[in-house]
Amino acid sequence: MSLKSYIKRDDGAVFDVVSLGPIGVLPDSQRQGIGGKMIARSKEIARQLGYRAILLCGDPDYYTRQGFAAAQVYDIRNSENMYADALHVCELYEDALLGVSGRYYEDEIYDVDVAKAKQFDKLFPPKGIVKGTPTQNKYEKMVRRVKVPC
């Protein structure tokens, strides 16, 4: 999924960017380059549409291999004005983010009403909740490392 989002500089200037994700590849099809191809195509389309950068939240080990860097390198924080390990940026052309530090705001579609989501889930057969997977544990560690800028 790709959505128009923006970075709001501390002086109020706004710069359009693209939010990417979630990206999903069926387990049996993983490790074949499919996710990387989807990301590359997303970059190509966003660049053609004139966007400066793509931002996403995800696993640093994976997304740095796809050309993304920690948003903190660009002094880009989340909407709560904090640096997050999972927040990554990919400039779509050289110096695309020069002077564009600030807060990143995702499209409002990501604002999920938890109560409504739980009601919706009741329409389907119940599933057990899986906890403690390596991916969940890694995510929990990243969440604990969120930090306030100096």
Identify whether 124 is part of a domain: yes
The pLDDT tens digits of the residues spanning 4-18 come to: 999 999 999 999 999
In which domain, by residue range, is 136 found? Answer: 2-144
CA distance 65 to 59: 10
Q: Residue 35: which CATH number? A: 3.40.630.30
The predicted model scores a pTM of 0.84
- Model confidence at 44: pLDDT above 90: yes
**Within-domain flag for 23:** yes
Question: What confidence score (pLDDT) does residue 150 get?
Answer: 63
Q: Is residue 38 part of a domain?
A: yes
Q: What is the pLDDT of residues 69-128, one digit of tens each?
A: 999 999 999 999 999 889 999 999 999 999 999 999 998 888 889 999 999 999 999 888
Q: Does residue 150 fall inside a structural domain?
A: no
Q: Are 55 and 17 within 8 A, CB to CB?
A: yes
- What is the full DSSP assignment across 126-138? --PPP---HHHHH
Residue at 8 is within a domain: yes
Total structural domains within the chain: 1
CA distance 19 to 104: 10
For 15, 73, 97, 113, 116, the CA distances from 68, given in Å and listed in that order, are 18, 11, 13, 29, 33
